[in-house]
A and B are shown apart, each in its own frame.
Chain A
Amino acid sequence: MTRRLLNILLPAVAAALVIAGWYAFRLSLADEMKFLLPTPGEILTAFRDNHTVLIRAAGNTAEGALIGFGLAIVVSTAAALAMALAPWIRNSLYPGLMALQLTPLPVLAPICVLWVGAGLKSVSLLTFLIAFFPLAVNTTQGLVSTDRNLVELFRMWRVGRLAELFFLRVPGALPYFFTGLRIAATLAPIGAVVADMNAGSSAGDGGGLGFQAIVYSSQAKYPALFATAAATCLLGFVFTAAVLALSWLTLHYWHDSYERTDA
């Protein structure tokens, strides 16, 4: 009980201290420099004043992130299954995947714009590219890391490779898949915002949060810029929380990582 209370109290106290420090630092700034750090109150006011624009922008970013993230899950799972079943596919694809992962998103953005045009398609494609690698690598690792004794047991039962895959390797790879999913869930909204800054478009329903951040920055609307940053953070939190919840629902009853300890 005491531990549970501390788990709630400590973050609350830490947050209160950060906000107090924030106000203190802001007070210490000269008047002409105060624009550098709006107060939480000013940011909240900016959010209220611009909520229509920000919610629409967050919706656009979320849409791009969700499409890219969802596509990454589907394609990376298929790729991981292929790579786990055939080492030659794994050996063929890995260097390409590594190269893709090592190429910075802002460099890929103009290429995507060239191929599919600016806006949602580009944002989704770039989000897909950033989320795909951790998912594919982790899931493949999970599929090929099955306990050797369990594999031998299945071979003794003379089951086919497909049954071995779906009754043994796939469930055994779930913890690895969720590790990849957690990484991808933090990267997807970030990727979508960066993609939006580099390949977003104000056409149609307008741009996403990245696009909006550029607009507010160019208009020197700094409290609104900070509010945009907060909205970005909130979006990332929603993605991560959703994945953590899904991971818990799937794994908590059997996986050791969810075992309760006194530590």
Chain B
Amino acid sequence: MPLIVEFRDVSKRYGNGPLVLDGMNFAASSGDFVSFIGPSGCGKSTLLRLIAGLSAVSSGTLTVDRLPPEEAAEGLAFVFQEATLLPWLTAAGNIALAQRLRGVPVAARAAERQRVLELVRLADRGDAYPRQLSGGQKMRVSLARALALAPRILLLDEPFGALDEMTREQLNEELLAIRQRQDWTAFFVTHSVAEAVFLSNRIVVLAAHPGRIHAEIAVPLPWPRTAETRLSPPYYELVAQVSRVLRSVNTAAA
């Protein structure tokens, strides 16, 4: 698989502040689902912001699709921790605005909008305003908005962090089901070990102050992953393994 994102000795600091990320060397291939996990302050969200081109690296080289991140906006989509919907637009309106501002051809917009709303199981809620939707539904709209831009790289910054456990698990399963029908590479920030194991084929454990790679763990669980996956012994073992590594990060920091 071709490399899609590559960090070469990347460091990041904001202004004259302390290093947020230090000596990041990491590469992801097309089709990867990479989760970043680590203690607070390890720079997980900063990593996504660098890939998105929202912030520039302080030193080192970062390429996205073999381009500097700021030139690689085409094919990138971001899902934030909050749904970040425009409250004055309906669910469909939010998606339509993203399509319009990102230059999706007019002829393709309506059908694609309907398709992504169906993907997130909200086909009948397109006319609802964000305040009429539950937290889980808002996140689904946010995801649909990102998918409507036909991304090659999807950046997800703790998108399900504020949701209850049941909704989170359901959305995890839906996300993977959608991914079976779409071709994108995912970079996923989370605090949940179980979520990272369930979704990813690679987990990058980060240490904090400054943020750096502590360990990388492959997740060889078979695809497709469903609710049954969570009941399998290999899943439990991987959750335990990642938890141990994460604990070792915290112990080292203490």
Binding site for B on A (CB under 8 A): 147, 149-150, 152-159, 163, 167-168, 171-172, 174, 253-256, 259
Contact assessment for B131 and A156 in the assembled complex, using a CB-CB cutoff below 8 Å: no
Known: A159-B101, A254-B87, A254-B88. A153 touches B80 (CB 8 A): yes
A172 CB contacts on chain B under 8 angstroms: 86, 88
Contact assessment for B54 and A150 in the assembled complex, using a CB-CB cutoff below 8 Å: no
Instruction: Give 8 CB contacts A-B under 8 Å.
Output: A152-B52, A152-B80, A153-B78, A154-B101, A156-B54, A156-B73, A156-B78, A167-B101
A168 CB contacts on chain B under 8 angstroms: 86
Name the one of A150, A157, A167, A259 contacting B102, with C-beta atoms under 8 angstroms: A157
Given contacts A152-B78, A253-B129, A254-B129, 10 further A-B contacts (CB under 8 A): A149-B80, A150-B84, A155-B54, A156-B53, A156-B73, A156-B77, A171-B86, A254-B131, A255-B88, A256-B131
Does B227 touch A at the CB level, under 8 Å?
no
Shortest distance in angstroms between A151's beta carbon and chain B's nearest beta carbon? Answer: 10
B52 CB contacts on chain A under 8 angstroms: 152, 156
- Cα(A253)–Cα(B127), bound, Å: 12
Name the one of B73, B81, B129 contacting A157, with C-beta atoms under 8 angstroms: B73
Number of A-B contacts (CB under 8 A): 52
Name the one of B82, B86, B88, B131 contacting A259, with C-beta atoms under 8 angstroms: B131
Contact assessment for B88 and A171 in the assembled complex, using a CB-CB cutoff below 8 Å: yes
Produce 1/0 per residue, B87-131, CB < 8 A to A.
111000000011001100000000000000000000000000111
CB-CB nearest in chain B for A256: B131
B129 CB contacts on chain A under 8 angstroms: 253-254
- Cα(A163)–Cα(B102), bound, Å: 11
Does B76 touch A at the CB level, under 8 Å?
yes
A256 CB contacts on chain B under 8 angstroms: 87, 131
Contact assessment for A149 and B82 in the assembled complex, using a CB-CB cutoff below 8 Å: yes
Which of B78, B89, B129 is most buried by chain A, counting CB atoms within 10 A of its CB? B78
Name the one of B49, B73, B86 contacting A150, with C-beta atoms under 8 angstroms: B86
Contact assessment for A163 and B78 in the assembled complex, using a CB-CB cutoff below 8 Å: no
Contact assessment for A149 and B98 in the assembled complex, using a CB-CB cutoff below 8 Å: no
- Cα(A255)–Cα(B86), bound, Å: 11
A167 CB contacts on chain B under 8 angstroms: 97, 101
The number of chain B residues touching the other chain, given as a range, is 20 to 34
Which of A147, A153, A155, A174 is most buried by chain B, counting CB atoms within 10 A of its CB? A153
- Taking CB atoms and an 8 Å cut-off, the chain B residues in 6-58 that contact chain A are 49, 52-54
- Taking CB atoms and an 8 Å cut-off, the chain B residues in 166-197 that contact chain A are none
Contact assessment for B87 and A255 in the assembled complex, using a CB-CB cutoff below 8 Å: yes
Contact assessment for B88 and A152 in the assembled complex, using a CB-CB cutoff below 8 Å: no
Shortest distance in angstroms between A13's beta carbon and chain B's nearest beta carbon? Answer: 35
B101 CB contacts on chain A under 8 angstroms: 154, 157, 159, 163, 167
A158 CB contacts on chain B under 8 angstroms: 73
A259 CB contacts on chain B under 8 angstroms: 131
Shortest distance in angstroms between A152's beta carbon and chain B's nearest beta carbon? Answer: 6
A147 CB contacts on chain B under 8 angstroms: 82, 84
B54 CB contacts on chain A under 8 angstroms: 152, 155-156
Contact assessment for B73 and A153 in the assembled complex, using a CB-CB cutoff below 8 Å: no
- Cα(A253)–Cα(B76), bound, Å: 32
- Cα(A111)–Cα(B101), bound, Å: 50
CB-CB nearest in chain B for A258: B131
Shortest distance in angstroms between A237's beta carbon and chain B's nearest beta carbon? Answer: 29
Shortest distance in angstroms between A27's beta carbon and chain B's nearest beta carbon? Answer: 53
B53 CB contacts on chain A under 8 angstroms: 156
B81 CB contacts on chain A under 8 angstroms: 149
- Cα(A168)–Cα(B97), bound, Å: 10
B87 CB contacts on chain A under 8 angstroms: 254-256
Of all A-B residue pairs in the complex, the 8 with the closest CB atoms, nearest first, are: A149-B84, A254-B88, A158-B73, A149-B80, A254-B87, A159-B101, A171-B88, A254-B129
A254 CB contacts on chain B under 8 angstroms: 87-89, 129-131
- Cα(A163)–Cα(B86), bound, Å: 14
B78 CB contacts on chain A under 8 angstroms: 152-153, 156
CB-CB nearest in chain A for B84: A149
- Cα(A167)–Cα(B82), bound, Å: 19
- Cα(A147)–Cα(B81), bound, Å: 13
- Cα(A13)–Cα(B78), bound, Å: 57
- Cα(A152)–Cα(B86), bound, Å: 13
- Cα(A166)–Cα(B62), bound, Å: 33
- Cα(A161)–Cα(B34), bound, Å: 33
CB-CB nearest in chain A for B55: A152
- Cα(A117)–Cα(B133), bound, Å: 57
Produce 1/0 per residue, B115-159, CB < 8 A to A.
000000000000001110000000000000000000000000000
B82 CB contacts on chain A under 8 angstroms: 147, 149
A253 CB contacts on chain B under 8 angstroms: 129
